[in-house]
């Protein structure tokens, strides 16, 4: 079945440590790829997106993501996390052949930061 | 610039009661989306409007859910009657011309519905 999967429901890292959140997709062709962050009481905010071209994408708040076609993955990374990064992170796709912004979200990864 | 505005932020009702959620998109955004986010899950699209027209309502449970965007600006999502399983966060988003995948969706803070 076509889907987007975030294998980790909850991740805890120490402040200052590096972070990698995983995202895998299952579609016949490469979808458009997105990462969103949802802080408590806040709306979803777009961190970055990948449509084509350079497979390493830079986003806001110091985040980056790497598209790997061979692994059907689009993992989110940050070299050094801050306490303010604690939030829920969602990987999302617009399935191939969908010209419109029809986002399909993964189930999310909750990030906790230890002081 | 004001973001997407939703009200109320929280709503608690008893099952079988009606409930309505309101959304005002970012000024100039002709595309409006309603999503439902169940606890521990990602948002799922319920309906997408292009101006006044509902162009994608395939995921909207039409037996109890309805939506309107009469003047192509703000929108109301209604549930009547509510069921226990409707407890969720209802998110509204807007974008410029949602027919183009390149246009970013901007999300409101959501309405958290609890059905008792």
Contact yes or no for A33/A25 (Cβ under 8 A): yes
- B45 has a chain A CB within 8 A of its CB: yes
Question: What is residue B16's three-state secondary structure?
Answer: coil
Give the single-character DSSP code of A31. Answer: -
C-alpha atoms less than 13 angstroms from C-alpha of A88 in its C-beta half-sphere: 20
| Res A29 pLDDT > 90 | no
- The answer on pLDDT for A97 being more than 80 is no
How many Å separate Cα B67 from the centre of its chain?
Answer: 8
Query: Over 80: is that where the pLDDT of A112 sits?
Result: yes
The β-bridge relationship of strands A56-58 and A64-68 is antiparallel
Using a CB-CB cut-off of 8 Å, the residues of chain B touching A43 are 3-4, 91, 93, 106-110
Residue B68's beta-bridge partner residues? B76
Chain A environment of B7 (Cβ under 8 Å): none
Of A99, A103, A107, the CB nearest to B41: A107
What integer pLDDT is reported at residue B1 of this predicted model?
66
- Helix, strand, or coil (residue B95): strand
For every one of its 116 residues, what pLDDT tens digit does chain B have, with 9 covering 90 and above? 689 999 999 999 999 999 999 999 999 999 999 999 999 999 999 999 999 999 999 999 999 999 999 888 999 999 999 999 999 999 999 999 877 888 899 999 999 999 99
**The pLDDT value given to residue B102:** 82
Q: Which residue has the tokens 């829920």?
A: A88
State whether residue B48 sits within 8 Å of chain A by CB.
yes
What is residue A41's predicted lDDT score, i.e. its pLDDT? Answer: 79
């Amino acid at each position: 079945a076509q889907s987007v999967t975030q294998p980790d429901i909850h991740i805890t890292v120490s402040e200052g440590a590096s972070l990698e959140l995983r995202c895998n997709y299952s579609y016949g062709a490469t979808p458009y790829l997105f990462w969103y962050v949802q802080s408590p009481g806040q709306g979803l905010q777009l961190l970055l997106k990948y449509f084509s071209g350079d497979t390493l994408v830079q986003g806001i708040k110091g985040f980056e993501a790497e598209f790997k076609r061979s692994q059907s993955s689009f993992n989110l990374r940050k070299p050094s996390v801050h306490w303010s990064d604690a939030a829920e992170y969602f990987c999302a796709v617009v399935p191939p052949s969908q010209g419109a912004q029809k986002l399909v979200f993964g189930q999310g990864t909750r990030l906790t930061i230890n002081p | 610039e004001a973001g997407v505005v939703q009200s109320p932020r929280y709503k608690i009702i008893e099952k079988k009661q009606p409930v309505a959620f309101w959304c005002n998109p970012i000024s100039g955004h002709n595309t409006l989306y309603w999503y439902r986010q169940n606890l521990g899950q990602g948002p799922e699209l319920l309906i997408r409007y292009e101006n006044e027209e509902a162009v994608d309502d395939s995921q909207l449970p039409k037996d109890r859910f309805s939506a309107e965007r009469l003047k192509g600006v703000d929108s109301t999502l209604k549930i009547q009657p509510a069921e226990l399983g409707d407890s969720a966060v209802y998110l509204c988003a807007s974008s410029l011309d949602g027919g183009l995948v390149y246009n970013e969706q901007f999300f409101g803070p959501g309405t958290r519905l609890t059905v008792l």
